Amino acid sequence: MTEKLTGTVAIVTGASSGIGRSTALDLAEQGASVALLARRRDRLDALVAEIDKAGGTALAVPADISDRAQAEAAVDATVEHFGRLDILVNNAGLMILGPFEDADVEDVDRMIAINQQGLLYMTGAALPHLRKAAERGPRDVADIVNISSIAGRVSWAGFGAYNMTKFGVNGFTEALRQEVTQSHVRVGVIEPGAVDTELQSHNTEEIRNGIAAFPADKEMLEAGDISDGVVYMVTRRRRASIGELWIMPTDQV
Ligand code: NDP
Domain boundaries, the chain: 9-247
Cα-Cα end-to-end distance for the chain: 34
**pTM reported for the whole predicted model:** 0.98
Q: How remote is the C-alpha of 48 from its chain's centroid?
A: 18
CA-to-CA distance for 125 and 243, rounded, in angstroms?
21
**Which residue's alpha carbon is at the smallest distance from atom 10 of ligand 1?**
14
Cβ atoms of residues 171 and 227 within 8 Å: no
* Mean of per-residue pLDDT scores for the chain: 95
Torsion of the alpha carbons at 162, 167, 170 and 175, rounded to the nearest 10: -130
pLDDT (0 to 100) of residue 211: 60
Share of the chain above pLDDT 70, in %: 97
Ligand 1 lined by 19 (C-beta under 6 Å): yes
pLDDT-derived band at 55, boundaries 50, 70, 90: very high
Share of the chain above pLDDT 90, in %: 90
pLDDT (0 to 100) of residue 3: 84
Ligand 1 lined by 111 (C-beta under 6 Å): no
Nearest to 164 by CA among 111, 225, 201, 128: 111
The per-residue pLDDT for range 64-123, each reduced to its tens digit, is 999 999 999 999 999 999 999 999 999 999 999 999 999 999 999 999 999 999 999 999
Ligand 1 lined by 192 (C-beta under 6 Å): yes
pLDDT (0 to 100) of residue 205: 80
Class of domain 9-247: alpha beta
* pLDDT of 253 strictly over 90: no
Of 214 and 1, the structure prediction assigns the larger pLDDT to 214
Average pLDDT over residues 3-18: 97
pLDDT-derived band at 212, boundaries 50, 70, 90: low
Ligand 1 lined by 135 (C-beta under 6 Å): no
- Residue 121 known to be catalytic: no
Of 207 and 43, the structure prediction assigns the larger pLDDT to 43
* pLDDT of 36 strictly over 80: yes
pLDDT (0 to 100) of residue 76: 98
Best residue for ligand 1 mutational test, from 109, 195, 225 (most atoms within 8 Å of Cβ): 195
Ligand 1 lined by 170 (C-beta under 6 Å): no
Torsion of the alpha carbons at 163, 166, 172 and 176, rounded to the nearest 10: -160
Q: How remote is the C-alpha of 246 from its chain's centroid?
A: 14
The Å distance, Cα 44 to ligand 1 centre, comes to 14
Answer positive or negative: Cα dihedral of 81, 84, 87, 93: positive
* pLDDT of 28 strictly over 80: yes
Q: What is the number of the ligand 1 atom nearest to the C-alpha of 194?
A: 40
Answer positive or negative: Cα dihedral of 180, 182, 186, 189: positive
